[in-house]
Amino acid sequence: MSFSKDFLWGTSVSAAQIEGGWNEGGKAPVQVDFANVGSASSSGRQLIYKKKDGSKGQLTGAYAMFPHLPEYGEYASFDDIYYSNRKASDFYHHYKEDIALMAEMGFSTFNTSISWARIFPHGIEGGANQEGIEFYRKVFKELKKYHIEPIITLYKYDEPIYFEQTYGGWTNRQMIDEFVEFARVCLTEYKDLVNKWITFNEINVLMLFRNLPHDQKVAQKRYQELHHQLVASARTVKLAHQINPQNKVGCMIAGMCTYPLTPDPKDVMDNYKYFQDIFCYTADVMIRGQYPSFANRMWKEDGIHLETSENDWKDLKEGTVEFLGFSYYMSQCRTTHTYANTTKGNIFTGYENPYLQKSEWGWQIDPLGFKNFMHLIYDRYQIPLLVIENGLGAKDIVESDGTIHDDYRINYLREHISAMKEAVEEGVNVVGYTTWGGIDLISASTGQMEKRYGLIYVDTDDQGEGTYNRYRKDSFYWYKKVIESYGEDLD
Ligand code: BG6
C-alpha cells in the first residue's frame, strides 16, 4: 500500500467561511463580515463601508484580505447588500450533523480554524469570551466522539475589526502579544482535545504585493506585518510545547507551482526567484528558524528596514514548526516577456499554460504540478508534508431526487490523489490530505456559495436563500471508498 494506515484523511474549512453566527455567542465582527458577493466573471468581491456622508465606499481586497478603511470610513451594514459570510453554511448551528456526516465518510481528521473574534472579541483588554471558548470545546468533543483528530488553525483570514480600530493591524508590534495570548488561551483550554496546530493560514500571501504595482511604503508595511506574524508564530510554537509536549505545530504556506513560460534564461531565473520570494521567504523562517540568505536581496530591492527586537531572532530560531502544511489548487506560468495571456487564480496571478484545462472560474488544473511541487518542497525542507487544501470549486446541480452528480469534482480529486500517491511512492513524506471545503462554504475570493467545493451539499445560494439542509454528493460516496481503502481504490 502506498499510504500508511495512519495517513490522515479528511477535509479543511475555515471559521469565517463556514460558521455563520457572526454576531452570536459574544462574537465580534471581522472584516469579511462586511464584504459583499462577487461572481465568476467579476474581479472578486468588495468590502463595503460607510463614508462620512452616509454613502457607500468600496474596497477591493487581495483575496479575502481587504485593506483597512480610510480614516473617515466606518464599518456599517446596508440593507441592500447580502453579506454571505454572516450566515455562511451555518456550521455554528449544524456542527453536530456535519461532523456525523464526516464520520460517515470515515474521516480521521478535520481542519478548521478558531475565530479569534469569538475568543477575544475585543482583544486582551475586553477579556476572553467564555461562550466562544465553549463553542469550540463542543465541536472538539463531538469530533472526539467519532475519533476524528482535529488540526486547528489559529488565524485564517478573519481579522477582528477591533484590532484594526485599536492598533491599525499587524504593523503594530502589540499584535504579537495579542496573538500569543489568544493562542495561550486556546492551547490551554483545548489541551486535552487538540494536539495538532497551525499558527497562520497561508501566511506567505502577505508577500504577494510584490507581484503588483506598489511603492516602498506598502512594501515596508507588508514586510513588517509579516515579521510580526512570524515572531508571533514562533512564540506560539514554543508555548505549545510548554503547555503540552505532545503538541505538534505546523506552518501553512499557500503553495504555488509555477513554470517559466519560455526557455529564456531570464524567465527561468524569474521563476526561481518567485519561488524564493513568495514561498521560501516565509517557509525558511518557520522551518529553518531564520531568514534565508536571499532575504537581503529582497530587502534591498524593496528598500526595507525591518524593525526587530533582540528576542525576535532567538524566538524564530527556537520556535520552528514540525510539519509543513500547504494548499495547492493550480499552476501558472511566469515570464519576463509581455505577449502572454494572464490567467486567473485565487491569490496568484500568472500566465496561461497552453497544456492545461481550466475550471469554470478560470483556474488551471494541473495534478502533475501537485506532484512536482511536493518534490520541490520536500527536497528543500525534509519535514513531513500535510496537504491542507486541495479541491475544485464548481457549480452543482441538484437532481429532482436530491442526488448531485459531481463527476468533475471526483475527477479532479482522483487525479490529485493519484499524483500524491506517486509522490509518496517516490519518497516524499506526506502524512495527510484534507480536501478543501468538504462541506460547501463561502468562497474566499468571490464570496459565493455557488462556487462549491463540498462533498456535502448545503442547500443555500449566493443570496442565502434555501433550507440549509445537507445532501450527500456523488463525491461523498467516492471519498468514503477512497478512505476505506486507504487511498488504494480511486475508481
Ligand atoms: C485558499 C484559501 O487559498 O483557497 C481558502 O485558504 C479559499 O480560504 C480557497 O477558500 C479557495 O479559494 P476560493 O476563492 O475559491 O474560495
Whether the pLDDT of residue 41 is over 70: the answer is no
Global pTM value: 0.97
Q: Where are the beta strands (DSSP E) in 331-460?
A: 331-334, 342-343, 350-351, 357-358, 364-365, 385-389, 430-436, 456-458
What span, in angstroms and rounded, lies between the C-alpha atoms of 234 and 238?
Answer: 6
DSSP string covering 27-70, please?
A: PPPBGGGGB----SSSS--EEEEE-TTS-EEEEE-BTTBPPPPP
**66-80, 82-96, 476-490: which range is least confident on average?**
66-80
pLDDT in tens, 220-236: 999 999 999 999 999 99
Looking at residue 346, what is its pLDDT?
Answer: 60
Mean per-residue pLDDT of the chain: 95
Q: How confident is the model at residue 192 (pLDDT cuts 50, 70, 90)?
A: very high
| 437-458 average pLDDT score | 96
Pocket test for ligand 1, best of 157, 445, 446, 451 (most atoms within 8 A of CB): 445
Whether the pLDDT of residue 61 is over 90: the answer is no
Q: CB–CB of 33/131 below 8 Å? A: no
Q: How confident is the model at residue 64 (pLDDT cuts 50, 70, 90)?
A: low
pLDDT in tens, 7-29: 999 999 999 999 999 999 999 99
Pocket test for ligand 1, best of 389, 439, 451 (most atoms within 8 A of CB): 389
pLDDT > 90 fraction of the chain, expressed in percent and rounded: 90
pLDDT in tens, 313-343: 999 999 999 999 999 999 999 999 977 677 7
pLDDT > 70 fraction of the chain, expressed in percent and rounded: 97
pLDDT in tens, 241-273: 999 999 999 999 999 899 999 999 999 999 999
| 149-169 average pLDDT score | 96
* Distance (Å) from CA 127 to ligand 1 centroid: 31
Looking at residue 317, what is its pLDDT?
Answer: 98
Looking at residue 280, what is its pLDDT?
Answer: 98
Residue identifier of the C-alpha nearest atom 10 of ligand 1: 444
> At which residue does the C-alpha cell 485565487 appear?
346
Q: How many CB atoms lie within 10 A of CB 404?
A: 20
Which ranges constitute the DSSP H helices of 190-332? 216-243, 265-274, 281-288, 295-302, 310-318
Q: How confident is the model at residue 347 (pLDDT cuts 50, 70, 90)?
A: low
| 429-458 average pLDDT score | 96
Encode burial over 225-235: b for 16+ CB neighbours within 10 A, e otherwise.
Answer: bbbbbbbbbbb
Looking at residue 344, what is its pLDDT?
Answer: 67
Looking at residue 62, what is its pLDDT?
Answer: 61
For residue 8, give the 3-state DSSP assignment.
Answer: strand
Whether the pLDDT of residue 470 is over 80: the answer is yes
What the block records as the C-alpha cell of 401 is: 431526487
Element (H, E) at 166: helix 161-167
Whether the pLDDT of residue 420 is over 90: the answer is yes
Looking at residue 43, what is its pLDDT?
Answer: 63
pLDDT in tens, 101-146: 999 999 999 999 999 999 999 999 999 999 999 999 999 999 999 9
Residue identifier of the C-alpha nearest atom 4 of ligand 1: 346
* Distance (Å) from CA 309 to ligand 1 centroid: 34
**23-37, 150-164, 340-354: which range is least confident on average?**
340-354
Pocket of ligand 1 (CB under 6 A): 14, 17, 157, 201-202, 254, 327, 346, 389, 393, 436, 443-445, 451
Pocket test for ligand 1, best of 346, 348, 446, 452 (most atoms within 8 A of CB): 346
